[in-house]
Structure 1
Amino acid sequence: MDVLILIGRILFVILFLGSAVGHLTKTADMAAYAESKGVPASRPATLASGVLLLVGALLVLLGLWADLGALLLFLFVLPTAFLMHPFWTERDPGARQQEMLHFQKDLALAGAALMLFALLATEGDGVGLMLSGPLF
């Protein structure tokens, strides 16, 4: 089971690592998109969220306080669903469907991150292939 959990951690963080790289290397483009969605202070928010994504994903990947990493990813993805993908404001049916899909994906990722946090916080010492036990 330890190997399956490691594989799951790797697969789980691929999306977050890619997004972190985008936030930190294409900051102007990402900030412009965030600004178009009404995010205040979009450039600092883009940089801060990029760091949050990177730290959270690396903690989960490496198994170093992975419970904290999962919590950080949850704290990113839940508000992102509401701030960046407000499908209920879209008039165009195609755009509305696209935003609803992203909104639901973010909610699913938030749920997965929350479950991972709970698993690691309660059973972290019993889950192998980690660099450290849980922080919480």
Structure 2
Amino acid sequence: MDILVLIGRILFVLLFLASALSHLTQTKPMAAYAASRGLPSPTAATLGSGVLLVVGGLSVLLGIWADLGALLLAVFLVPTALLMHAFWKETDAQAKQLEMIQFLKDMALAGAALMLIAFFSYAGHDLGLTLTGPFFDFD
């Protein structure tokens, strides 16, 4: 079971760590996109979200307070879905469909992150292949 959880953690965080790399190495174009979506302080938001993705992703991957790391990822995902993928504002049908897909992907991943919070908080001490137990105690 421990190895399945580890494989799941690895697969789950691949997207976040790759995205973090883009946020931190392609900051200017990503900030320009954020600005086009009306985000205030787009460069700071891009860098800040990149750091949030690195910390949350590595926390889940390495099992260092993985429940807290999953919370950080959820904190990134929900506002990103609402602010960056507001499909209801699109007038072009193709753009609307693409933004809806991105919105739903972010919300689905946020749901998975919330489940991981509960999972790691409940079973964290019994899970192998983690460096720490859970940050939260929901007993």
Matches within 5 A, 1:35-74: 35-74=35-74
Q: How far apart, in 2, do the equivalents of 1:68 and 1:104 lie? A: 23
Partner residue in 2 for 1:104: 104
Q: How far apart, in 2, do the equivalents of 1:32 and 1:121 lie? A: 38
Residue 129 (structure 1) aligned with residue 118 (structure 2): no
User: Superposition RMSD on alpha carbons, in Å?
Assistant: 0.5
Residue 79 (structure 1) aligned with residue 79 (structure 2): yes
Taking structure 1 as the reference length, the TM-score comes to: 0.99
Question: What code does the residue aligned with 1:111 have?
Answer: G
How far 1:127 moved relative to its partner? 1.1
Q: How far apart, in 2, do the equivalents of 1:79 and 1:32 lie? A: 18
Question: What code does the residue aligned with 1:34 have?
Answer: A
Give the unaligned 5+ runs of structure 2.
none
Deviations 1:31-79 (A, max 9, x none): 0000000100000000000000000000000001111100000000011
Q: How far apart, in 1, do the equivalents of 2:58 and 2:41 lie? A: 26
Q: How far apart, in 1, do the equivalents of 2:35 and 2:122 lie? A: 39
Partner residue in 1 for 2:120: 120
Q: How far apart, in 1, do the equivalents of 2:121 and 2:28 lie? A: 36
Question: What code does the residue aligned with 1:52 have?
Answer: L
Partner residue in 2 for 1:33: 33
How far 1:13 moved relative to its partner? 0.1
Identical counterparts, % of pairs: 64
Q: How far apart, in 2, do the equivalents of 1:22 and 1:45 lie? A: 13
> Aligned with 1:61: secondary structure?
helix
Q: How far apart, in 2, do the equivalents of 1:73 and 1:52 lie? A: 7
Q: How far apart, in 1, do the equivalents of 2:39 and 2:54 lie? A: 20
* Alignment length (residue pairs): 136
Q: How far apart, in 1, do the equivalents of 2:28 and 2:92 lie? A: 27
